[in-house]
């Protein structure tokens, strides 16, 4: 096996020493450098051109998902093995999708680390065994294990994903800037990220983090329903006030719902690709966009999704074209109430 020139990247010198000591038994591996932060890593990659990078992505001045994508694009042949203490499956998936070749947990035996390096250097993929069970679980089970955020935290992440600064978020939510900063510090810790840009990337890759659970309901017919289940529902309407109204009604009617919101077709298709909603409520008129065309695109990406077109203008031609596009039903907005929404959801999750 040819010599694999390897760069170690970890902000703790003691950890780097431990890695170096563990890997010295591999005769084909040569440690060509060590770095402890983001800027030094970028310089070392340019100067040393290593074959393999062993990296703890929580280093200072380093935004994991974004920077790993950039590194992968610049050095497509280099092998990348993350060695981390974080075992959150959503975080791991984000890094795998960004281009790393393996993810190894620091608490695993050193013999496993050597095996991981051997596999990754040989062109294979590696994931520590404790992570495999999480990653192989069905999507709904993984969804249930995402960080449990409060409605206020979700509001902050929604604004963050739109690029708002702390002062603007504080103004929108009627909070102090200091309170926003405190919320963000806790949120970064819960998401396993270290910066605003990294958090925005995390939200983009994992939209379920800002999905809304339905509100608590006193409707006893839901409590005992044998079909009560967590169901993904997408709301597409360019009117934010109406989306909130519809979300509240769905929450009262079906508390088990995971509710996603989109204000335009692009956002709706992105969410469709990520979560494959069971039901999508789509407004026919979306500013300059067309909800009927959006229906076709949703069905193309997620054929099992049931699209319910809604409109304040129940035009007969809209109805005909909507059904041709693949919509399940066409409803007048003024007819939508909690009881009607419950019936629609119940009928469409059978």
Cα–Cα distance between 286 and 213 in angstroms, integer?
Answer: 25
Which CATH architecture group holds 4-138? Answer: 3-Layer(aba) Sandwich (3.40)
The dotted CATH code for 151-206 is: 1.10.10.10
What separation in angstroms does the CA of 2 have from each of 6, 100, 152? 12, 21, 54
* In the chain, domain spans: 4-138, 151-206, 212-348
The reply to whether 212-348 shares the fold of 4-138 is yes
The dotted CATH code for 212-348 is: 3.40.50.2300
CA dihedral of 130, 133, 136, 140, whole degrees rounded to 10: -120
Q: Residue 77 is encoded by which pair of tokens?
A: 């042949």
Digitized pLDDT (tens) for each residue of the chain, 350 residues in all: 689 999 999 999 989 999 999 999 899 999 999 999 999 999 999 999 999 999 998 888 888 888 999 999 999 999 999 998 877 666 777 788 888 999 999 888 888 999 999 999 999 999 988 887 666 554 444 444 556 677 788 888 888 877 788 888 888 888 888 889 888 888 888 888 777 878 887 777 777 677 665 543 333 333 444 344 568 899 999 888 888 888 888 888 788 788 888 888 988 998 898 888 999 999 988 877 889 999 999 999 999 999 999 988 767 788 888 889 999 988 888 888 888 888 888 888 76
């Amino acid at each position: 096996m040819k010599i694999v020139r390897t760069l170690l990247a970890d902000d703790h010198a003691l950890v780097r020493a431990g890695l170096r000591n563990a890997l010295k038994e591999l005769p084909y591996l040569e440690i060509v450098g060590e770095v402890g932060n983001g800027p030094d890593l970028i310089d070392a990659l340019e100067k040393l051109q290593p074959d393999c990078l062993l990296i703890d992505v929580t280093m200072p001045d380093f935004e994991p998902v974004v920077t790993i994508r950039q590194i992968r694009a610049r050095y497509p042949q280099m092998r990348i093995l993350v060695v981390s203490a974080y075992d959150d499956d959503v975080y791991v998936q984000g890094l795998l999708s960004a281009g790393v070749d393996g993810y190894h947990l620091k608490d695993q035996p050193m013999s496993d680390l050597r095996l991981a390096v051997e596999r990754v250097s040989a062109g294979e993929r590696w994931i520590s065994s404790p992570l495999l069970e999480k990653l192989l679980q069905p999507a709904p089970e993984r969804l249930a294990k995402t960080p449990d955020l409060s409605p206020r935290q979700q509001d902050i992440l929604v604004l963050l994903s739109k690029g708002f600064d702390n002062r603007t978020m504080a103004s929108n939510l009627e909070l102090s800037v200091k309170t926003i900063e405190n919320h963000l510090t806790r949120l970064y810790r819960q998401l396993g990220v270290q910066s605003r840009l990294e958090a925005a990337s995390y939200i983009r890759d994992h939209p379920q983090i800002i999905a809304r659970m339905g509100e608590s309901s006193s409707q006893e017919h839901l409590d005992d329903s044998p079909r009560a289940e967590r169901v993904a529902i997408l709301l597409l309407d360019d009117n934010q006030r109406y989306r909130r109204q519809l979300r509240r009604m769905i929450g009262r009617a079906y508390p088990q719902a995971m509710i996603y919101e989109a204000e335009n077709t692009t956002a709706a298709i992105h969410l469709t690709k990520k979560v494959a909603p069971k039901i999508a409520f789509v407004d026919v008129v979306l500013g300059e966009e067309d909800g009927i065309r959006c229906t076709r695109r949703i069905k193309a990406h997620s054929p099992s999704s049931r699209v319910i077109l809604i409109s304040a203008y129940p035009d007969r031609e809209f109805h005909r074209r909507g059904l041709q596009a693949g919509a399940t039903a066409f409803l007048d907005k003024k007819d939508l109430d909690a009881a009607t929404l419950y019936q629609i959801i119940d009928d469409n999750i059978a």
